[in-house]
Amino acid sequence: MIRALIVDDEPLAREGLRLRLEREVDVEIVAEAASGEEAVAAILGLEPDLVLLDVQMPGCDGFQVLERVAERHLPEVIFVTAHDRHAVRAFEVNALDYLLKPIEEERWLEAMSRARRELGLGRDRGMPERLSALLDERRPNQDRAVRRLVAHERGRFVLVRPDDIHWARSAGNYVEVRTDRGVFLVRSTLAALEGDLDTARFVRVHRTAIVDLDRVREIQPNENGDFELLLEGGIRIPMSRTYRERVLTMRARAR
């Protein structure tokens, strides 16, 4: 079942969406929200699969809702809007789908079909990346360099700020990253991730690992002639001789 949340400040609009969803045999309506604040609480508390999200609401609009929940849970989102043409153009590029009020039946069926397709094929494809890009586009110009990474955690998606990473290691088709909130998987290569990180702090120490130098406590030789980095919390990361001089130079500059 697709667990859906309805968000709209207009009671009649919520009723219309509820009636449409009730016709979908594979959809369970987990809650309704009449404001952005209620939507944030419902998304974080219920972690729905799909949110039908109004754009313009008093106090906290649809974009602000996403910004506030993005680091903990990113559901699939179908935006619902009445007349904001600028938003519609943005949604066409970035959103899973958008629906104009009043909703046409053909567009409703198309949007639900797209939602099923995204949810069924795996949610690492599509919406989280588009939402991440959409949120970053709305940041002030001076903050554009700070990007969010779409990460996996127990079947859901969260956003990780690069500066929060302690270390990163290759893990097949993913990169495993450690933050204060735990270990997450990011669909990326280590080389691509390295380009997203602050080069004054993060350094490649092995062909399979990157670390935040601020979290390195000791550099210890091992029996193979290579080295190990002892990080906060007792974590040990291998460091090959290839990267030793670079690491030592960066640590010296940081002191």
Q: Are strands 50-54 and 76-81 parallel, antiparallel or unpaired?
A: parallel
29: left (phi over 0), alpha (psi -120 to 50) or beta: beta
Q: How far apart are the first and last CA of the chain?
A: 55
- CATH tag, 2-136: 3.40.50.2300
Point out which residues pair with 50 in neighbouring strands. Answer: 4, 76
**pLDDT tens, the chain, 255 aa long:** 899 999 999 999 999 999 999 999 999 999 999 999 999 999 999 999 999 999 888 888 888 898 888 878 888 889 888 866 655 544 543 567 778 888 989 889 988 998 888 887 444 445 566 566 556 555 544 444 446 777 776 656 677 888 889 999 998 778 899 998 888 888 788 888 888 888 888 999 998 999 998 898 888 887 777 788 889 888 899 888 888 777 777 776 666
Taking the C-alpha atoms of residue 125 and residue 184, their distance in angstroms, rounded to an integer, is: 17
8: which DSSP letter?
A: -
- For the full predicted model, state whether its pTM sits above 0.85: no
Taking the C-alpha atoms of residue 99 and residue 53, their distance in angstroms, rounded to an integer, is: 10
Taking the C-alpha atoms of residue 71 and residue 214, their distance in angstroms, rounded to an integer, is: 23
The CATH 3.40.50.2300 portion of the chain extends over 2-136
Taking the C-alpha atoms of residue 7 and residue 10, their distance in angstroms, rounded to an integer, is: 9
pLDDT in the model for residue 98: 79
254: which DSSP letter?
A: H
Question: How far is residue 79 from each of residues 8, 25, 105, 110, 137, measured CA to CA in Å?
Answer: 10, 21, 16, 13, 17
Backbone angles phi, psi at 160, to 5 degrees: -115, 130
Taking the C-alpha atoms of residue 108 and residue 18, their distance in angstroms, rounded to an integer, is: 13
Backbone angles phi, psi at 206, to 5 degrees: -160, 160
Q: Which CATH class is domain 161-254?
A: mainly beta
16, two tokens: 């219309």
pLDDT in the model for residue 138: 54
3-state helix, strand, coil in the chain (%, to 5): 40, 30, 30
The CATH 2.40.50.1020 portion of the chain extends over 161-254
pLDDT in the model for residue 142: 43
pLDDT in the model for residue 159: 78
The full length of the chain comes to 255
pLDDT in the model for residue 143: 45
